[in-house]
Structure 1
Amino acid sequence: MRAFDYVRATDTREAVRLLADDPEASCLAGGTTQLDLMKDGVLQPPRLIDITRLPLHGIERRDESLHVGALVTMEELAADTTVAERLPMVRESLLLGASVQLRNMATIGGNLLQRTRCRYFRDPTVPECNKRAPGSGCAAVQGAARMHAVLGASERCIALHASDLAVALVALDALVHIQGPTGSRTVPLTEFYLTADVSPERETVLEHAELITGVEIPLPPPAARSGYLKVRDRTSYEFALASAAVQLVLDDGTILEARVALGGVGTKPWRAHAAEHLLTGAPATTATFTEAAEATMQDAWTVPGTAFKVPLARRTLVRELQTVSGVTA
C-alpha cells in the first residue's frame, strides 16, 4: 500500500468539496472494501477522506417508507424493528451477507458501492482487465470463471456484483439519495447500476465528487410475503453462486403482485422484470414459477466456467418462489 494523505471531513458539504478539489481522492467509511483494494494495489488514492463523522447515521420511518443513513451499518439495519416486521427480505439479505464482525463495520452506502470480487480485477499483475484498464480485455472470459456473471455479461467483462443487500433493495424499488457539488439528487436503485457489457470501468451513475447520503426503502403492503435465498459453496461467510429476492402478494392462490431480483449471476443486482410480468395475475404454481425462471435466464451469456449458473439460477428462483408462496409442488 502506498502512502496517502488522511483528512477527516466534519460535514457533508466539506466532504464533497474535498472530493471535488482532488479528482484522485477516495472516501473512507467502514473500509471493508476500500482498504482491501488498497492493500492489493488495485486502488492507490493519494488522499483518503474519512466520512465516518458525517451526520449520515440513523434509521427513520416516514409514513410508508424507511429512510436509512448511508453510514448506518449492516448490523444496525438488520436489528431495526421495522425491517424485522415489514422487510424480512432485506433482513435476510443482510444477515446472509457477511460475518458479524464485518456487518458491524460495513456501512449501507459502502455495501451498495462495493467492488466486484473478480480475482482478475483484484490482481494488478493480470494485465487484461477492462475494469482496471479499459480496452485491455477480460482475462476471466478465458480463465477460471466459476464466481462470475452470466446476466449483463459479454466478452468485454463478466465480473460479478457481489452485494446481497442490493439485490433485495433493487426488488423493492429503493431510492438512493446523493449529494454533489451542484446539489442533491435521487436515483432509483434500478437505474443506479450500469451493466459491465456497456461500461466495465464504470459501475454506477455516481460521479466522482458525489456521496450517497441515504437510502429510501418503500415498505411493502402488510399482506406481502418476502424472502431471500442465497445458494453458496458453504453456509457462512461466502459469496453467492446464485440468489433470489422475492416478494409476493397473493389472493386465493393468485399472484396479485410480484417483485423479483437475482444476485450471484449479474454484473449488477438484477431485477427480473420478465419474471414479474409472467407471475403477476398468474396462479401460484410450480409450473408458473418454472416459466418465470426460464424467462429470466433466457438472455444469459456464458463461458464454460459459468454455464452451470443458468440452471442453478432457475432452480434458486423456483425454490424461493415456492417458499414465499407456500407452494411445494
Structure 2
Amino acid sequence: MPEGHSVHRIARQFERNFVGRPVRASSPQGRFAEGAAILSGRTPTRAQAVGKQMFLEFDSGVWLRVHLGLYGAWDFAGEILVDPTIASANGRMGQTNQRGTVVEDAPIFDDAGENSLSSIGAPRRTRVHVRMSEQTKGLDEADGLEAPDAEWPPPVVGQVRLRLLTDATCADLRGPTACVVETAEQVAAVIARLGPDPLVGDPAENEERFVRAVRSRAVAIGQLLMDQSVVSGIGNVYRAEMLFRARLDPHTPGRAIPEEVVRGLWRDWDGLLRIGVETGQMMTMDGLEGEAWRRAMASRDDRHWVYHRAGLPCRVCGTEIALEEMQARKLYWCPNCQR
C-alpha cells in the first residue's frame, strides 16, 4: 500500500497538471459512471493529500476523494509538468510530454522496477506515459516514454475506474479502495477522523496531537504508528524503520514511552516524509552520499535498516533481524537494538 509520501506526490502532480484546467471525466469500467458524470466539465481548484488519502476539489464545492488502498494506482499520460523543486532518484527533473523528455540522466530503477519520477501507487504494467505506482516495468526501455506518434487520448488499458482528461494530460485510476464524490462537509468529517500529517496544518499543533494520542494509550507503539487516527501516512516500511531509528521495542505501550522519545518519533517522521516526497522513495538510512546514495536509490536492500531483512544480521549489532505479525501486518525489528 502506498505510504504518505506517495500520496503527497500524486496530489502535487494534480496541482501541476489539472488544477485550473476543465476536465472531462469518464468511467470506462462503468463502476464510477455516476460520479464521473458529476465531475465532467468542472474545473479542479485544489489538490490535497492527508496521510494515505487524496482530496481533489472542483468548482461548485464538489470533491473527489481517493484512497488507493493495496491495489490502486494512477497512470498519467500526455504533458507531465514536473516540479523542479522535487528531486528524482537521479537528481534530474524536467517536463515530459508525448514527444520526449528533458530529464538529462537515465532514470534509476530499483530492483522492484520503481523510479522516483514515474512511480507512485501499486505495481501494475501499463502503456501510459508516467506511472504513479510502485514500478514502471513494461514501459519503453529507454525512459518510459510513448512513441512520438502515440494515440491521443491514449487507449484505455485494463479496468479504469476513473479517467480525468484535460486538453494535454490524462490521468487513469485503477483499483482504488475508495473513489467517491463528496461535499465539503463530508471531506471535513473524513479529515477530522485522521491523525496529524506533518505536511498539513500547524506543525506545533500536529506534534502535540501525536504526543497526546500516543501517550494516552496502552496499545503497543508498533500498532499505534499504523493507526491512521493516531498519525496519518505511516505504513509498514516507515513503521519498522522509525522504530529501529528510535531503538524502540515495537511492543512497548505508548503510555510507557517517555515524552521526549515520542516527540523524537514525530520529528523523525516529519523528516522522513519530506525526504520521501522529495525523492519518491522511502530512504531511511542516514549519511549516504555519492555512489552509496545511488545504490540505495536503486535497491531497497541498501536503503533500509530492518525492513524486509528478516534473518539477516542487524546493520548495527549483527543480531538476526526478527519477523513477526502485528495486527496481520509484517513487522521487522532487531531484538537487541530495540529492547
Same fold (TM over 0.5): no
Give me the TM-score of the superposition, normalised by structure 2.
0.29
Give me the TM-score of the superposition, normalised by structure 1.
0.29
